[in-house]
Chains A and B, each alone.
Chain A
Amino acid sequence: MGYAETLGGTRYVFSDLKTLLARATPPRSGDRLAGVAAADMTERVAAQRALADLRLRPLIEDPVVPYEADEITRLIIDTHNPDAFAPIAAMTVGELRDWLLSDAADTAALTRLAAGLTPEIVAAVSKIMRLQDLVSVAAKCRVVTRFRNTIGLDGRLSTRLQPNHPTDDVRGIAASILDGLMLGSGDAVIGINPATDSLQKYLELTRFLDQLRERLDLPGQGCVLAHVTTAIAAIEHGAPVDLVFQSVAGTEAANRHFGVDLALLREAREAALSLGRGSIGTNVMYFETGQGSALSAEAHHDVDQQTLEARAYAVARAFDPLLVNSVVGFIGPEYLFDGKEIIRAGLEDHFCGKLLGLPMGCDVCYTNHAEADQDDMDALLTLLGVAGCTYIMGVPGADDVMLSYQSSSFHDALYLRRVLDKRPAPEFETWLERMGIADAYGNLIGPERTDIAAAPLRRLLAALE
Chain B
Amino acid sequence: MSNDRALSWPALRHATPARIGLGRRGAGLPTAAHLDFQLAHARARDAVHAPFDAKTVAARVRDCGLEPILLRSAARDRLIYLRRPDLGRRLDTESRERLIARPKSPIDIAFVIADGLSATAVHAHAGALLAATLDRLDPALCIGPVAIVEGGRVAIGDEIGGILGAALAAVLIGERPGLSAADSLGVYVTWQPAPGTVDSARNCLSNIHAAGLPIVHAAERLAALLKAARDYRMTGVALGQRLAAVASPQIDQGG
**A329 touches B (CB below 8 Å):** no
B19 on interface, CB distance cutoff 8 Å: yes
Asked if A334 is at the interface (CB within 8 A of a chain B CB), the reply is yes
Q: Does chain B have a CB within 8 A of A464? A: yes
Tell me if B1 counts as interface (CB < 8 A to partner A).
yes
- CB-CB nearest in chain B for A334: B85
- When the two chains form their complex, are residues B7 and A465 in contact, meaning their CB atoms are under 8 A apart? yes
State whether the Cβ of B233 lies closer than 8 Å to any Cβ in chain A.
no
Which B142-186 residues sit within 8 Å CB-CB of chain A? 176-180
Q: Is A69 an interface residue (CB 8 A)?
A: no
A169 touches B21 (CB 8 A): no
Q: Interface code A141-178, partner B: CB below 8 Å = 1, 0 otherwise?
A: 00000000000000000000001111001011111101
Contact of B23 among A333, A409, A449 (CB under 8 A): A449
| Cα–Cα, bound, A172→B13 (Å) | 7
Given contacts A179-B21, A367-B176, A452-B21, contact A169 B15 (CB under 8 A): yes
Complex Cα–Cα for A169 and B7 (A) = 14
Known: A169-B15, A448-B24. A464 touches B37 (CB 8 A): no
Interface membership of B117, Cβ < 8 A: yes
- In the docked arrangement, what's the CA distance between A32 and B82, Å? 13
A175 with B13: CB separation less than 8 A: yes
- Among the 9-residue stretches A232-240, A306-314, A357-365, A368-376, the one with 4 or more Cβ atoms under 8 Å from chain B is A368-376
Task: Given A411-B27, A465-B4, answer yes or no on A369-B82 (Cβ-Cβ < 8 Å).
Answer: yes
A165-B27 contact given A368-B41, A406-B179, CB 8 Å threshold: no
B9→A411 contact, CB < 8 A: no
Smallest Cβ-Cβ distance to B44: which chain A residue: A368
Q: Does B86 contact A (CB under 8 A)?
A: yes
Q: In the complex, what distance in Å separates the CA atom of A166 from the CA atom of B211?
A: 13
- The residues of B that contact A33 with a CB separation of less than 8 Å are 83-86
Given A172-B18, A179-B20, A449-B23, are A465 and B2 also a contact pair (CB < 8 Å)?
A: yes
Instruction: List the A side residues contacting B11 at CB < 8 Å.
Output: 171
Given the contacts A369-B82, A451-B21, A451-B22, A169 and B16 also touching, CB distance less than 8 Å: yes
A405-421 vs B, CB cutoff 8 Å, 1 = contact: the mask equals 01001010011011000
A393 to chain B, nearest CB (A): 13
A419 to chain B, nearest CB (A): 8
Chain B hits for A411, CB < 8 A: 22, 24, 27-29
B40 nearest in chain A by CB position = A399
| Interface: A211 (CB within 8 A) | yes
The count of residues in chain B whose C-beta lies closer than 8 Å to any C-beta of chain A is: 45
With both chains docked as a complex, state the minimum distance between the C-beta of A334 and any C-beta of chain B, in angstroms: 5
Question: Which residues on A sit within 8 Å (CB–CB) of B96?
Answer: none
Taking a contact as CB atoms under 8 Å apart, the answer to whether B27 and A396 are in contact is no
Interface residues of A in 208-227 (CB under 8 A from B): 211-212, 215
Q: Is A176 touching B20 in the complex (CB atoms < 8 A)? A: yes
Which residues from B are CB-within-8-Å of A406?
A: 41, 179
* Residues of B with C-beta under 8 A to A29: 83
Q: In the complex, how many angstroms separate the beta carbon of B86 from the nearest chain A beta carbon?
A: 7
A444 surroundings in chain B (CB, below 8 A): 24
A281, CB-defined interface residue at 8 Å = no
Is residue B45 contacting chain A, with contact meaning CB distance below 8 A? yes
- When chains A and B are docked, how far (Å) is the Cα of A417 from the Cα of B27? 9
B27-A414 in contact (CB<8A)? yes
Question: Is the pair B19, A396 in contact by a Cβ cutoff of 8 Å?
Answer: yes
Confirm or deny: A461 has a beta carbon within 8 angstroms of a beta carbon on chain B. Answer: yes
Q: Smallest CB–CB gap between B185 and chain A, Å?
A: 15
Check B84–A464 contact: CB distance below 8 A.
no
CA distance A32 to B85 in the complex (A): 12
Check A171 against B12 for contact (C-beta < 8 Å). yes
Q: Within the complex, what minimum Cβ distance (angstroms) separates B165 from chain A?
A: 29
Q: What is the CA–CA distance of A452 and B85 in the complex, to the nearest angstrom?
A: 44
- In the bound complex, residues from chain A placing their C-beta under 8 Å from that of B24 are 183, 411, 414, 444, 448
Minimum Cβ distance to chain B for residue A295 (Å): 11
Known: A166-B17, A175-B15, A176-B16. A399 touches B37 (CB 8 A): yes
A397–B18 touching, CB < 8 Å: yes
A440 within 8 A of partner (CB): no
Give the CA-CA distance A464 to B3 in the complex, in Å: 10
Are B17 and A398 within 8 A (Cβ)?
A: no
Inter-chain CA distance A173–B1, complex, in Å, is 13
- The answer, yes or no, to whether B33 is at the interface (CB within 8 Å) is yes
Quick check: B27 and A415 within 8 Å, CB to CB? yes
Interface string of A277-294 (1 = CB under 8 A from B): 000000000000000000
Report, nearest first, the 8 A-B pairs whose CB atoms are least far apart: A397-B19, A172-B16, A451-B21, A414-B27, A175-B12, A404-B178, A171-B15, A179-B20
**A-B contacts besides A374-B38, A401-B179, A448-B25, 13 pairs, CB < 8 Å:** A171-B15, A174-B15, A175-B20, A333-B83, A337-B82, A368-B44, A396-B19, A396-B22, A397-B33, A398-B19, A399-B180, A414-B24, A465-B4
9 interchain pairs (CB within 8 A)? A165-B18, A211-B1, A337-B83, A368-B176, A369-B82, A396-B18, A397-B33, A401-B180, A464-B7
